[in-house]
Chain A
């Protein structure tokens, strides 16, 4: 067992913690609205796009992050723009993104048979993350983008919450609901691309959804939930990275997602117990009734991005 005093003397760990903190904060804060708006399925679709975009870039010989970010943001915006008009059901969406994943496998073969030379594990590191393999420059870029995502969500938080919880009233009040929806999905695209570097395309949905779902189990107040989601995500990232450092056989993406899942299960169990033995009557704040209404009632008209995580 390595001494934790020397944990930060390794450059790769410094880079991992720098990038990881920013990425986790971005996932926690953006993921909160993703779960609130019941658009988790979009996150799943974007994880497939992330894989294909990254490998297409590698096959074309350019920096994989270019393909990664371009693909996820473009597709996210398309999903947002089509959302209201196209009445696509889950089967259609599932098939389209399953095919996109197949396309990614094609690019992987193109890459490994023509350009990869020394980089034979590109597919694995895109699928499962490579946070311990980030250089100083890559970590700094990831940190800046992550911070930008957090700032953007904070700026949008109030109108976005209004539009998410009660769309019709928000629109009537002059909130640009459609534009907000599209900008939000573009930010989710960027967040998914960020998370791919940390936990990989296969697991980024966990980092987007689990801290948010846990926060929604723990608190009815939206802004408190937002803070809990962000704090939980960062904590889970730190614990996951530390665990992975301490136990070399444990890959970081697994450790991080395991922490996120454990936290969610704990909150879920606590919520179940609380419902069975309601001793204390909590004073429900004004916003809680609005949140309850949004969970119980129908969330907006049929859209491409419909879908959700059962968090009650």
Chain B
């Protein structure tokens, strides 16, 4: 559909992947090469669990990523454990919370619908 509308799909894909490579290299400086996946994927996955709207989830991703990085930096400063572990754990905690919240909301909706008069 996008290709039919004249969007340069292939060029965009290549440009995106180049940017992803650069982002990965940047992230590796914080979390270490082993744990890059956490800071790249978890905030995005969390945001997408919380809202389906693309712009809102994009903003939320940036906010969550920034929050877990700051939290990780502070926690790592005050303890002997590495920052990669803290960033990963906070990001995962956020993801779990979002997952559980979405699940609870879904269950609550189902309960409300089931309770409606037939």
Q: Which residues of A contact B (CB under 8 A)?
A: 91-92, 94-96, 98-99, 101-103, 105-106, 109-110, 113
Q: Say yes or no: A99 contacts B92, CB within 8 Å.
A: yes
Residue of A99, A103, A106, A113 contacting most chain B CB atoms (<10 Å): A99
Rounded to whole angstroms, the CA-CA distance of A94 and B45 in the bound complex is 10
Segment at the A interface, from B9-17, B22-30, B77-85, B109-117: B77-85
Q: Across the interface, which residues of B come within 8 angstroms of A96, CB to CB?
A: 92
Q: Say yes or no: B45 contacts A102, CB within 8 Å.
A: no
Residue of A94, A98, A110 contacting most chain B CB atoms (<10 Å): A98
Contact code string B22-55 (vs A, CB < 8 Å = 1, else 0)? 0000000000101101100110010000000000
Contact code string B64-98 (vs A, CB < 8 Å = 1, else 0)? 00000000000000001110110111001001000
Rounded to whole angstroms, the CA-CA distance of A110 and B81 in the bound complex is 8
Partner of A91, one of B41, B82, B88, B89: B41
Q: Say yes or no: B89 contacts A105, CB within 8 Å.
A: no
Q: Say yes or no: A109 contacts B80, CB within 8 Å.
A: yes
Q: Give the interface SS of chain A, mostly helix, strand, loop or mixed.
A: helix
Q: Say yes or no: A98 contacts B37, CB within 8 Å.
A: yes
Q: Say yes or no: A101 contacts B41, CB within 8 Å.
A: no
11 pairs, A vs B, C-beta closer than 8 Å: A91-B45, A92-B99, A95-B41, A95-B95, A98-B92, A101-B35, A102-B35, A102-B38, A105-B35, A106-B82, A113-B80
Rounded to whole angstroms, the CA-CA distance of A23 and B35 in the bound complex is 28
Q: Give the interface SS of chain B, mostly helix, strand, loop or mixed.
A: helix
Q: Which residues of B contact A (CB under 8 A)?
A: 32, 34-35, 37-38, 41-42, 45, 80-82, 84-85, 87-89, 92, 95, 99
Rounded to whole angstroms, the CA-CA distance of A96 and B35 in the bound complex is 12
Query: Closest CB-CB distance, B79 to chain A, in whole Å?
Result: 10
Q: Say yes or no: A109 contacts B92, CB within 8 Å.
A: no
Query: Closest CB-CB distance, A302 to chain B, in whole Å?
Result: 18
Rounded to whole angstroms, the CA-CA distance of A127 and B80 in the bound complex is 22
Q: Across the interface, which residues of A come within 8 angstroms of B45, CB to CB?
A: 91, 95
Q: Say yes or no: A102 contacts B42, CB within 8 Å.
A: no
Rounded to whole angstroms, the CA-CA distance of A5 and B87 in the bound complex is 52
Q: Say yes or no: A102 contacts B92, CB within 8 Å.
A: yes
Q: Say yes or no: B34 contacts A101, CB within 8 Å.
A: yes
Rounded to whole angstroms, the CA-CA distance of A92 and B100 in the bound complex is 12
Q: Say yes or no: B85 contacts A106, CB within 8 Å.
A: yes
Q: Across the interface, which residues of B come within 8 angstroms of A109, CB to CB?
A: 80-82, 85
Q: Across the interface, which residues of A come within 8 angstroms of B92, CB to CB?
A: 95-96, 98-99, 102
Q: Say yes or no: B41 contacts A102, CB within 8 Å.
A: no
A-B pairs, top 8 by smallest CB distance, nearest first, are A102-B88, A99-B92, A106-B85, A98-B37, A98-B38, A105-B85, A102-B85, A91-B45
Q: Across the interface, which residues of A come within 8 angstroms of B88, CB to CB?
A: 98-99, 101-102, 105
Q: Say yes or no: B85 contacts A103, CB within 8 Å.
A: yes
Apart from A102-B84, A102-B85, A110-B81, 17 more pairs, CB < 8 Å: A91-B45, A95-B38, A95-B41, A95-B95, A98-B37, A98-B41, A98-B42, A99-B88, A101-B38, A102-B89, A103-B85, A103-B89, A105-B32, A105-B35, A105-B82, A105-B84, A106-B81
